[in-house]
Amino acid sequence: MPKVIESDEEFDRLAEKMEALDLKKNPAPEEQALSALLARLVQDYDDRYHALPALPPHKTIAFLMDQRSLRQADLLPVFGSRSVVSDVLNGKREPSKGHVRKLAEYFHVSPELFL
């Protein structure tokens, strides 16, 4: 049963549950709603106790990718092309407003992290 997260152990457990729901091929509407609720709970706890320092967008993206063992190719759904992914991750280009929105959804974080 979801509830306000009060410890790192609860955070880890609920984050794993949320990621498992997000990886389902055809989640039921109830599972999608639960995933959204868990994302909010995880983000609230993370913002309160493990806030990230202010970093340039490309460093924030790199950190989040490293934490999830992702590669540049994993961000193709967000950016649409390899060249844009590469330019953003190398700091040659700022993510657009659309990219920021998609990054926030993809990583389940606040869009403000990328601004």
Instruction: Supply the DSSP string of 22-76, one letter for each residue.
Output: HH-SS--HHHHHHHHHHHHHHHHHHHHHSPPPP--HHHHHHHHHHHTT--GGGGH
In this prediction, residues 36-52 reach a mean pLDDT of 87
Domain encompassing residue 106: 57-114
- Sign of the dihedral through C-alpha 76, 81, 84, 87: positive
Given a contact cutoff of 8 angstroms between Cβ atoms, the answer to whether 11 and 46 are in contact is yes
One domain, residues 81 and 109: yes
Choice among 48-52, 65-69, 94-98 with the minimum mean pLDDT:
48-52
pTM comes to 0.57
Residue 15: which H helix or E strand, with range? helix 8-23
In this prediction, residue 14 carries a pLDDT of 93
One domain, residues 65 and 32: no
Q: Read off the CATH number of the domain in which 92 is found.
A: 1.10.260.40
Overall domain count for the chain: 2
In this prediction, residue 52 carries a pLDDT of 64
Cα–Cα distance measured from residue 104 to residue 75, given in angstroms and rounded to the nearest whole number? 12
